[in-house]
Structure 1
């Protein structure tokens, strides 16, 4: 099957909109591959930190983007894990520090270009569910189905607070809300691939909705 014939569902949206949880569930239901594009950017940020690379040094970050080895594995429990250069860095990738670094790195055109082919390589039979911020607008503009998830900043902060607190991470709800609002502003205003819905994307506001309800709505789009 030629690459262009492999069906793709893109699910974009801001941090905390639920796109990762929904995308993994939908991919599992369909039996398709899953791309967590945000993890690639976070991985570059973490790898850069390990190597003491200045986030203000685009050339060094591009080299890091080309050189870093990122692998996705499922733990025996079924939990998805991410390995950076052979080291399980899943927990570090989930920190707000890694998220902020990913947002800063994603604004660098050369880094985005370096990761573009790597992301497109995930398009393999029988299909792909890709989640991120520019999956439907830049990486897979020819996707068969496009979804853009949103939720209020307050609810997204609450979700993040519960997620991190459950893992024993010390955070405050007010601090997370400030970080989410700041990241939204950065992502929406960057010159390259700003966060915005594709013109042909179906928008779903997940505020107040359960995971199963959102998954059902997305699956209905594909199966219809």
Structure 2
């Protein structure tokens, strides 16, 4: 049975990573969380004082000069069975999910030099197919020839509610209003950036999960993927 490439794009907090992991497990494919890669670069910038609350933006020249020394890896976590992202030899899977990183990731990911570095790495990871990758420009830039492209969306308020619950469960002190503002600002930044803006590929299947359960969504997408693999779609 031939393998395909599955590209999942869409807005923040639409469950892209969840369904991508589910698909990869069901199909025995490799899962690559491209968003984690951008979050890791953002964490690196924060750790090195290249961006912060006191600054209006990123120290672009400083970050670009340090990009060659940034090493990103995905390693299997034997406790969870998932692939965690490592930044320069350190597991940062939990750190990159914090609200501070979320507040700046769109700013960092808008830098052409950052996108070029990560797109090159992402293409290498998917060169042999049998990969599920999620992000913002996977179906339009990274894998424009992907056999299955999905574009996931949901209303900002529903996405903010989901994200707010996740953050509370992790023990973060945050208000719903702050999360909603972050979701809306990320939507604007992702959709209007000059380099690889978030757009739906012409041949992508749109999945609006505002009123769709996780199980229903997964089964619908899995059936579509299996039909493509069998050459029936």
Identify whether the pair has TM-score above 0.5, normalized to the shorter chain: yes
1:56 and 2:53 aligned? no
Q: Which runs of 5 or more residues in structure 2 are unaligned?
A: 52-56, 228-233
**What is residue 138 of structure 1 aligned with on the other side?**
141
In 2 relative to 1, CA 100–66 (structure 1 residues): closer, same or farther, beyond 3 Å?
Answer: farther
Contact 2:5 2:129 in 1 (8 A): no
In 2 relative to 1, CA 108–126 (structure 1 residues): closer, same or farther, beyond 3 Å?
Answer: closer
In 2 relative to 1, CA 139–187 (structure 1 residues): closer, same or farther, beyond 3 Å?
Answer: same
1:223 and 2:220 aligned? no
| 1:152 to partner: Cα distance | 0.8
| 1:105 to partner: Cα distance | 1.1
| 1:203 to partner: Cα distance | 0.1
Measured in 2, the distance between the counterparts of 1:197 and 1:98 equals 25
| 1:191 to partner: Cα distance | 0.8
**What is residue 205 of structure 1 aligned with on the other side?**
208
In 2 relative to 1, CA 138–126 (structure 1 residues): closer, same or farther, beyond 3 Å?
Answer: closer
Contact 1:73 1:81 in 2 (8 A): yes
Contact 2:37 2:85 in 1 (8 A): no
1:160 and 2:157 aligned? no
Q: Deviations over 1:169-194 (max 9, x none)?
A: 11111110011001101111111111
Task: Tell me the matched-pair count.
Answer: 220
Which TM-score applies when normalising by structure 2?
0.89
Q: Deviations over 1:40-81 (max 9, x none)?
A: 111111112222224533233233333212222333132442
Contact 2:160 2:176 in 1 (8 A): yes
Measured in 2, the distance between the counterparts of 1:68 and 1:6 equals 31
Question: What is the RMSD of the two structures over their aligned residues, measured on CA atoms?
Answer: 1.7
